[in-house]
Structure 1
Amino acid sequence: ELMDSCDAVIANLTPFRGISADPGTVFEVGYIIGQGKAAFGFTMDRRHYRERAGAADRDELGHSIEDFEMSDNLMIECGLQESGGQLLVAEQPGEHRFFSAELFRRCVQALIDYSNSR
């Protein structure tokens, strides 16, 4: 119910328990986007996904590792953009490994700007 009542979402997509964003958070972002609502995200990790994956072409099973020069999986970042949102990346380390009040404020402002432009 709570997600259905939202007009948009701001998600912390900083890698958590691995090299990518938390799967539960990614599900929530996809759910919101699937409803035609805007999704904005932020990450404290400035590295591209491939760099976090060890900058290898393939994983230990021989699967190719994407190299789209994006902060995370192509579907996450492009999904945000297609919804009208965006992914904001920390310019410097924050006061906490997983959160920056300043980066969150920038996300809120981006959402306000998006809402005002509609």
Structure 2
Amino acid sequence: MKIYLAGPDVFRPDVLEWAEAARDTCRRYGYEALIPIDHGETDASRIFQANLDLIRKAQIVVANFNPFRGAEPDSGTCFEMGFAMALDKKVCGYVERRESLLTRVNRIEGADPARSHDNQGMAIENFGLPLNLMLAVPAMIVEGGLEDCLKQLRGGNRDSSSPTANLPENPLARKAIEAAIRYLQWVADGKITDGNAVATVADQYKVREDAVRGWIDAWSGNSLASNAALRPDDVARQMKISGRQYRSL
């Protein structure tokens, strides 16, 4: 399972060391980290497109939402989260202090904690959320760092990596779901073109899209049985056949 790491960490002076440590942390939890420095582009337009390509390949986007150059998260990170949401990716993030946006702005600006307007006289959003509602509502926000976020994704246990966890006990149902997961991963890797793979699988299996997302989460961090002979048409066909089998169970 691939995770795109969004955040201002790419601007760190020790970015290479940070990236290696982040990759190692992700590997320990069963994930493959995709980081904006991976592509090596130096032109602004190419960096933009390359980052979008990495997000497309990921199944999950994890963001560093800590304040950056002010009281709010990095603006590029916010865009990437919106793009991931539009692609129906799972999104989550972390902050060192899970305080309300109102508290954070006033703390950073050195003002009364109960103040309702910032130094520019603009109203401060006050829903008790750690970030602007457009980020805090769709994304799981964890207090801590990257590893704390990964723990939450893995259900709090790095070692609970069985692909059958939280999936049906019926082996035929699990086999059918494996075909769906393979299809979703091939779409994410760009091997199959599908504008809304989750909806496609949900339609074939006659389940809600939330159920498909649940399968993705349950399989998160686990590999699929290798079959180098498979082609895109084979994977799509197997998913459809497995969908019919799943409906008949």
* TM-score category of the 2 structures, normalised to the smaller one: 0.7 to 0.9
**Larger RCO: Structure 1 or Structure 2 (Cα < 8 Å, ≥ 6 residues apart)?**
1
**Counterpart Cα distance in 2 of 1:3 and 1:51:** 31
1:78 corresponding residue in structure 2 = 137
Q: State the percentage of identical aligned residues.
A: 28
1:110 aligns with 2:162: no
8 A Cα contact 2:98 2:142, kept in partner = no
TM-score by length of 2: 0.37
Q: State the shift of 1:33 in Å.
A: 0.9
**Counterpart Cα distance in 1 of 2:148 and 2:54:** 23
**Counterpart Cα distance in 2 of 1:34 and 1:65:** 26
- Please list, as runs of the form range in 1=range in 2, the aligned pairs for 1:7-26 lying within 5 A after superposition: 7-26=59-78
Aligned pairs, how many? 101
- Please list, as runs of the form range in 1=range in 2, the aligned pairs for 1:29-48 lying within 5 A after superposition: 29-48=81-100
TM-score by length of 1: 0.74
Q: Which has the larger radius of gyration?
A: 2
Q: CA RMSD in A?
A: 2.1
Letter of the structure 1 residue corresponding to residue 152 of structure 2: A
In structure 2, which of residues 58, 61, 72 is the aligned counterpart of residue 6 of structure 1? 58
Deviations 1:3-30 (A, max 9, x none): 1111111111111111011111111111
1:59 corresponding residue in structure 2 = 118
8 A Cα contact 1:15 1:45, kept in partner = no
Deviations 1:75-98 (A, max 9, x none): 111021xxxxx10013xxxxxxxx
1:45 counterpart SS class: coil
1:87 aligns with 2:129: no
1:53 counterpart SS class: helix
Higher helix share: 2
